[in-house]
Amino acid sequence: MVRWEPGAPDRLQQAALELFATRGYEETTAAEIAQAVGLTERTFFRHFKDKREVLFRGQDHLVKAALQGVNAAPEQATPMEVLTSALQAITSAFSDERRPWSRTRQQVIDRNPALQEREQHKLSILAATIAEAMAARGVAAPTATLAARSGIAAFEVAFLRWIADGEQRPLTVIIKDVLDELRALLR
């Protein structure tokens, strides 16, 4: 029988991030993460495929938010309006309470090329999801791909600003500025 562990995924995730940040990602084992919160390695692997996935638990949520964002745009919306709706939905998923976690997570990723590859893959899946959903709404496929990929590039830039030291503005505000800057840049 599987024992019910209240909040086990959250506790494992928090402990993992702390260990990754202080001791190093490579140096931390799943058993040590579990031990840090009084759980067994078996419990860890009931919740996560491997220790890397602890850092990518939010991916499905972001993909869902992106899809909802695309579909929330009015029927007659321009491709840019659809993209903006998707980006608003994605950035809304990053609450200000989450900022310290996101900041530490990024520091861990920045130190490990394999994690950087995984992170880029996540963003690429997010872009592909938006592109497909836009195309399903009738946006021409090349336009949808271009909009989605550029939109995710803007998201990456906005996200890096959001986690910068001293930055106070919410991500939903920063993304608007970044899109304005992109417009000005291309002019």
Q: Which two tokens stand for residue 134?
A: 């836009």
Interface residue with its own copies, options 154, 163, 171, 175 (CB under 8 A): 154
Q: What does each C-alpha distance from 177 to 146, 151, 153, 155 come to in angstroms?
A: 19, 13, 13, 11
Select from 40-48, 62-70, 93-101, 179-187 the region that touches its own copies (CB under 8 A). Answer: 179-187
- The rounded distance, in Å, linking the Cα atoms of 83 and 90 is 11
SS3 content of the chain, % helix, strand, coil (to 5): 75, 0, 25
Tell whether residue 156 is a contact of its own copies (CB under 8 A).
yes
Tell whether residue 123 is a contact of its own copies (CB under 8 A).
yes
Interface residue with its own copies, options 153, 167, 170, 176 (CB under 8 A): 153
Tell whether residue 146 is a contact of its own copies (CB under 8 A).
yes
H-helix segments, 48-140: 59-72, 79-92, 99-110, 113-136
Q: Which two tokens stand for residue 1?
A: 């029988």
Select from 6-14, 59-67, 95-103, 118-126 the region that touches its own copies (CB under 8 A). Answer: 118-126
Residues of span 68-87 touching its own copies by CB under 8 A = 79-80, 83
Residues at the site binding its own copies, with contacts judged by CB under 8 A: 79-80, 83, 113, 116-118, 120-121, 123-124, 142-143, 145-147, 149-150, 152-154, 156-157, 160-161, 178-179, 181-183, 185-187
